[in-house]
Amino acid sequence: MVVKICGITRAHDAKLAYYRGADLLGLIFHPASPRFCGIGAATEMLRSFPDYPWVFVFSYDDANYIQEIRKKFSAVDAKIQIPATHRYLKNLVSDAGYENVIPVVGVQNSFEHDFLDPFSAFSLIVLDTAVRGDDGRQKPGPDDKFTRHLIKGIKRPHLLTGGLTPDNLEGVICDAEPYGVDVAGGIEKSSGIKDDVQLEKFMRIAKKGRGF
């Protein structure tokens, strides 16, 4: 199972996640995020671990800002994650290629698999089950817990995200059978600071996949 550890702000957490088998490591560059990774911290990590499987994560940020971050860290072969409804998505794909862009598709309580047809050219997509505001922050909703069985059977490579923790991951895997999972806050002791024990527990369960 593919695992993305997102919201990394420290070199320690990046190294631990990588050596515990994380397939993707997310740096959030959206300034309003509680897990925003500043330029200084990002520079330190990217210089120390340039070959790690990095993902630069954005919300509805300005296209010029996204380009600025990409240019600053152009020496790193990172993928770019942005909302599927971002107006810059098409231009970004033209510049970076489908294989290097990860669109985030918001999914709530009604969902048909053909809804994903427009994203068939992408190598990977994120299915975000959380209710979020325009600033990217999770907010209360009528049903924050996505009816996970709705995505069961999706063949297209995807990461399921939104409210995942080591305590609910086994149930999520049983219900949804996701291709992969994406976690941030569910393994933290504070925003942007991962808990070593929770991270390792999450990785053990995820890497066992459906065979636990």
Taking alpha carbons only, the member of 58, 102, 101, 53 closest to residue 77 is 53
Q: How confident is the model at residue 141 (pLDDT cuts 50, 70, 90)?
A: very low
The helix/strand/coil state of 144 is coil
> Which tops the pLDDT comparison, 146 or 81?
81
Q: How confident is the model at residue 175 (pLDDT cuts 50, 70, 90)?
A: confident
Judge whether 28 and 6 are in contact, CB under 8 Å: yes
Q: Chain-wide mean pLDDT for the chain?
A: 89
Residues of the chain with pLDDT > 70, as a percent, come to 88
Cross-strand partners of 180: 2, 159
- Tell me the CA distances in angstroms from 71 to 51, 64, 88, 140, one per residue in order: 17, 10, 16, 36
Q: pLDDT at position 134, please?
A: 56
> Which tops the pLDDT comparison, 178 or 130?
178
Average pLDDT value for residue range 19-34: 97
Q: pLDDT at position 5, please?
A: 98
Q: pLDDT at position 18, please?
A: 98
Question: pLDDT for 50-84, tens place per residue?
Answer: 999 999 999 999 999 999 999 999 999 999 999 99
